[in-house]
Structure formats: structure tokens, C-alpha cells
Amino acid sequence: MASVSINQVTKQFGAVSVIRGANLHVEDGELVVFVGPSGCGKSTLLRMIAGLEDISSGDIHIGDTMVNDIEPGDRGVAMVFQSYALYPHMSVQQNMSFGLRMNGNEKADTERRVQTAAKVLQLKPLLARLPKQLSGGQRQRVAIGRAIVREPQVFLFDEPLSNLDAELRVQMRVEIARLHKELQATMIYVTHDQTEAMTLADRIVVLRDGLIEQVGSPLELYHNPANAFVAGFIGSPRINFFTGVATEYAEGHQLVQLSGRGSAVAKVATTEALPSGTLIKVGVRPEHFEIGGACGFPIKVDVVEQLGSVSYLYADTTSEYPLIVARQDDGDHRSDELTISIRAGKALLFGADGNRLR
């Protein structure tokens, strides 16, 4: 296995800058997930590592080797795509061994590799089947098996689970996590699904418009987002945003008067006092509200999602961004009128430019 280093990498398609100076070091054996909205450039960055797209400037190293001018097949990477692209007339065994045979790999070694991959992926009973005799999840396992038999330095996954239904996606997610542990492989994984990113990643790379916004462990990004974009992208259900005005500062806490919420005040932990009157944005995760409280504001619950261990109460559902409040019980709160307040020290502060104020 090998590390991957991306240094000042850019990508232009004609006049359009799709990747605008990316820097990232993926450790040997690490599982890094690229996440971000559609069109932010995550697939392009992955394809540049694979060698399927040229690099406009900068360089990419796999291990100690600069791979900018190395052919995809010689980079020691194996890629798994969203469309599994199996050969329909070949058995599972043949699909997995085909690439190796074409490269003139010795028969006994090819067989050994296929058997090892089939064992890891629990495909042994299916080796003689044709792709049409497999479920979607099994087909994707074969596609992953085809990558494993190549014994690559780095695995690259481009939205490998997006063609599967929700239940299978969860199953395969667990399987990929197990595979990563078992193979101790370097893996780079692209998805637009933040839940997939949170559950799989050692570290998540959040991209927006061709720029890396933040790199960190899932919980670092959740608890300490660098800006409002990352805060809004990571976390499900999503964070709530309020606008407000800084008032007093006392004992490590900034008080913020929330706009349009009566006399409601958020008490936010920060290291520095803001000038009184500064316009700011306050981010509150659904679990960081409490019912009642002296400095709260009233809401009317429109919709309740009961998930068993937690209920999500939705208010203001006619607005673009409904308010989402988590509640740790399973009572039916539909059409409840409640006062909620923000737990002291739990909200996140952002400046007018969206950057985090700490």
C-alpha cells in the first residue's frame, strides 16, 4: 500500500477551473472520503489520481513516485465505478481474473488472487454465476473483487453504491469498512452522501467549487466546522442557522440576540468578545436545543419524524429552511406549541463571510 500526495493540483476544462489548487496528503492505509455537492470536482480529482484526467498544473505522488506522466495502468491504482461494468457473458470467476490474464499474469497466481478476493468478499459460492444471476450488491462486490485481485497500492471508489437501494447501500457500506480494516488498504472514496462519508471515513475532505473547504475526521468536521458551508453539509438532519446580533460578552460566552425570534438569546462559547452590534450567523444542531428555558422562543411543530430512539420535530415547514429540533422521547408532538432554547455553549458562530468565529 502507499500514501497519496496531491500538491497544488489544478484542473481546467477549457476556460473553466474545476479544481483550483488542491493540497492533500493521504496516509498509507487511510480511508479518505471526498464529499461535496454535485459538480464540486470530487470525481475529477479522483480521476486525476487514477490518471484518467490530465493534471493542468501541480503534481500527484503515489508513494515516492510522481505519477503525473504515468499511464493509469502503471500507477498501481484500481478504481471501482458506480456502474459495475461486468462482462455479461463471463462468470464471476472470469470477470475477476480477466484483467490479470490479459496482462499475462501466471495462471496459478491469478487463481490464488481470485480465491483470496472471493473469500474476503464472501463470493466463493457465486464464482460460477453470470452477472445476470446476481443481485445489485453482489455485482458490486464482484466489481470490488476485480479491484482487489490487482493488489493495487491504492483503491479509488467513485460513488460505488449510488446504484443500490437504501438498504443494500447500508450493507455495502459496512462491507467496505470491513474490507478496509481487513486489507489495511489506502482508499479514496467519492460520494455526495454525507452519511456515507461520516460512517466510512478516517478523514473527510469537503469540496466546494473546486476548492477543499476542510479536511478532518468525521467528528472534527461535525463539532468544529471551519465555516457555515461545512457545518451545513455535514450532519443529518442538517444544522439550523439563525442570524443575530452580538450583545454582551461574559465568562467566555458571547451573547447573541437572535433576529426575528422575540427576545431569544444564544449563549455561545468563544475566546474573544465581538464588538456589540456585529451581525453574525448562529448554527445550532438539532440536538442542541432544549425544550423550555428562560431565553427561548416559541415554535409550532408541523411534522414529527419518530425514529424510535429520537424524534425530530419540524417547525416553519413552509419556509425554505424548516427548523429541526431533536427530542429524546417518542411522544407524539405534532401540532405542539413549544418554547425552545439553545443549550448554553453549544451553538456555533459564523461571521458575515461564513467563516467560523471561535
44 binds ligand ATP (CB under 6 A): yes
Interacting span for ligand ATP (CB under 6 A) from 22-30, 37-45, 212-220, 242-250? 37-45
Name the nearest CA neighbour of 289 among 317, 250, 332, 325. 325
196 binds ligand ATP (CB under 6 A): no
327 binds ligand ATP (CB under 6 A): no
Closest to ligand ATP by CB, 208 vs 253, is 208
Interacting span for ligand ATP (CB under 6 A) from 34-42, 104-112, 117-125, 268-276? 34-42
Interacting span for ligand ATP (CB under 6 A) from 33-41, 66-74, 305-313, 319-327? 33-41
Closest to ligand ATP by CB, 33 vs 274, is 33
d(CA 326, CA 164): 29
Q: Which of 141, 150, 180, 192 binds ligand ATP (CB under 6 A)?
A: 192
42 binds ligand ATP (CB under 6 A): yes
150 binds ligand ATP (CB under 6 A): no
Q: Looking only at residues 3 through 32 of this chain, which bind ligand ATP when binding is defined by CB under 6 A?
A: 13, 18
43 binds ligand ATP (CB under 6 A): yes
**C-alpha distances in Å from residue 299, one per residue of 15, 97, 270, 313:** 48, 61, 27, 10
51 binds ligand ATP (CB under 6 A): no
82 binds ligand ATP (CB under 6 A): no
Closest distance between ligand ATP and the C-beta of residue 192, in Å?
Answer: 4
| Positions in the binding site for ligand ATP (CB under 6 A) | 13, 18, 36, 38-44, 192
